[in-house]
């Protein structure tokens, strides 16, 4: 039996016991916040942030990077579903720091015969990438509420969040040289 078969079986059991429905969960996030974070399975967003069903939009991808697709989702989240704040969460020990754009692109091309059209978005400095992500959201004309965008680094060992100050000015695609030092740990 595959893992997907096990998950479908778990859904079937939950449905039969009445625990799978979401009719009572509102369609719009009740806390008016969208969280962008990494797909890393060590980050249980709801548990880490104390969120319940229907309280936030949670967008995940490799690295928690703000890509065009994340901007698309945030634009819909804000314009159509009422979110007003954006919380960005990267984490230490991220796999995106262990690859390079050129190296992974070459690896994929060698394996498939085709170079990927998508950006890899690897990074060496997690805090610099958080600052870059903050700036990408703040500079997007498609984001209605750009004043409440904050970034954090999640410590996978302790579960603590450390706030990262946004870069003062500068180019969102070239951060690091003029970057601010990280903020204080958030409990």
Domain assignments of the chain as residue spans, ordered by start: 25-186
The tens place of each residue's pLDDT in the chain, 187 residues long, gives 899 999 999 988 888 887 777 778 888 999 999 999 999 999 999 999 999 999 999 999 999 999 999 999 999 999 999 999 999 999 999 999 999 999 999 999 999 999 999 999 999 999 999 999 999 999 999 999 999 999 999 999 999 999 999 877 544 443 333 333 334 444 4
Query: Three-state secondary structure along 81-122?
Result: HCCCEEEEEEECCCHHHCCCHHHHHHHHHHHHCCCCCCCCCC
This prediction's pTM: 0.85
Which of the four CATH numbers 3.30.465.10, 3.40.50.1980, 3.40.1050.10, 3.40.50.2000 does domain 25-186 have?
3.40.1050.10
Query: Angle between the 68-81 and 126-138 helix axes, to the nearest 10 degrees?
Result: 50
Residue 94 token pair: 């991220």
The pLDDT, as a whole number, for residue 169 is 58
For 125, other C-beta atoms within 10 Å of its C-beta total: 13
DSSP state of 43: -
């Amino acid at each position: 039996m595959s893992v997907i078969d096990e998950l479908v079986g778990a859904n079937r059991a939950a449905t039969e016991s009445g625990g799978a429905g979401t009719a009572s969960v509102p369609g719009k996030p009740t806390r008016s916040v969208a969280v962008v974070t990494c797909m890393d399975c060590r980050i249980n967003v709801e548990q880490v942030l104390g969120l319940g069903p229907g309280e936030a939009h949670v967008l995940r991808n490799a690295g928690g990077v703000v890509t065009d697709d994340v901007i698309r989702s945030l634009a819909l989240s804000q314009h159509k579903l009422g979110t007003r704040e954006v919380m960005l969460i990267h984490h230490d020990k991220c796999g995106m720091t262990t690859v390079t754009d050129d190296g992974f692109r070459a690896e994929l091309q060698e394996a498939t015969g085709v170079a990927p059209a998508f950006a890899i978005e690897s990074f060496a400095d997690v805090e610099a990438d958080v600052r870059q992500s903050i700036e990408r959201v703040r500079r997007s004309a498609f984001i209605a509420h750009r004043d409440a965008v904050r970034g954090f680094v999640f410590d996978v060992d302790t579960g603590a969040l450390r706030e990262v100050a946004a870069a003062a000015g500068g180019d969102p695609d070239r951060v690091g040289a003029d970057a601010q030092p990280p903020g204080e740990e958030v409990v």
